[in-house]
Structure 1
Amino acid sequence: MTNAMAHSRGRRNPADGRAPVRRAAATVGVIFLVIGVLGFIPGITTHYGDLYWAGHDSDAKLLGLFQVSVLHNIVHLLFGVAGLVLARTISGARTFLVGGGAIYLVFWLYGVVVDHASAANFVPFNDADNWLHLLLGVGMIALGLLTTRGLNRR
């Protein structure tokens, strides 16, 4: 019972030697890498011929739902690399999850405020992206905080 409690408080899991926050950051990083790569695969990305470098005119949609551009896919890839690099340490992993979550909340706010048909929507974002960004932001922050709970009390 004490092992399970220690694990839930951010201590190392004897099974793999990595703190939960590090595993969470690495997992999120891998997910971002996969999403970034999938954005460049025709079929998984519909209207692939309409994939532009950037801008609201890019009609390509990942899984037929999320509006993407080359720039948008690169952002996912960069977040993935950052997640894997920062997952090497507990503080880096927490920074990635909490800081990255905050950035995704800014993306959500930007997507809500900006007219999707305007040149200001340069990444681009659509309504599905906005909902996903909100969930990612809240989820990443929660992961960063919950998986490091109790670390400072030791």
Structure 2
Amino acid sequence: MNIQTISWVFAVVFLAMGILGFVPGITTADGMLFGMFQTSAMNNIVYIVTGLAALWAALSNPENSRGLFKVLGVFYALVAVIGLIQGPTVLGILTANAALHFFHVIVALVGLWAGFGTSRTYPEADLATDVRRR
């Protein structure tokens, strides 16, 4: 999986979470997206902005994707750490529960890996012609 593909995945996931967070029925009356993730209007806006940034990176080039993932990795790592310390809110702005804290940790780890761990460009493998002799 290359960094552009990861950008597409981030774009789809974050845009879906952000948009669906505003849809009654998918989000319960007490603000639970899919009955699992605590959400609010501010969370949804942050997710839509994240999704749009990931969409821009996916349509751009690998260097822009790496730069974006460095920023997202650090941002969501801070959100995860602050959320784990503070509990149900992050700086009194974003709401979160255990499932959302876990989601932020995963997003931070993937973002940090994609931003800082994929700095080299590797050619895509052509499995049809990659025959190894033993």
Scaled by the length of structure 2, what TM-score is found? 0.79
Q: Which runs of 5+ in 1 are unaligned?
A: 1-7, 9-19, 48-58
User: Where in structure 2 are the equivalents of 1:4-153 lying within 5 Å?
Assistant: 20-47=2-29, 59-87=30-58, 88-116=60-88, 120-146=91-117, 148-151=118-121
- Counterpart CA distance in 2 for 1:119 and 1:85 is 26
Native 8 Å contact 1:67 1:126 kept in 2: yes
Q: Sequence identity of aligned pairs in percent?
A: 28
Q: Secondary structure in 2 aligned to 1:75?
A: helix
In the TM superposition, what is the alpha-carbon distance from 1:115 to its structure 2 partner?
Answer: 4.1
Q: Which runs of 5+ in 2 are unaligned?
A: 123-134
RMSD: 2.2
- Counterpart CA distance in 1 for 2:20 and 2:92 is 22
Greater alpha carbon shift after TM alignment, 31-40 vs 136-145: 136-145
Q: Secondary structure in 2 aligned to 1:151?
A: coil
Q: Secondary structure in 2 aligned to 1:43?
A: coil
Number of aligned residue pairs: give it.
121
Greater alpha carbon shift after TM alignment, 106-115 vs 136-145: 136-145
Paired AA for residue 85 in structure 2: V
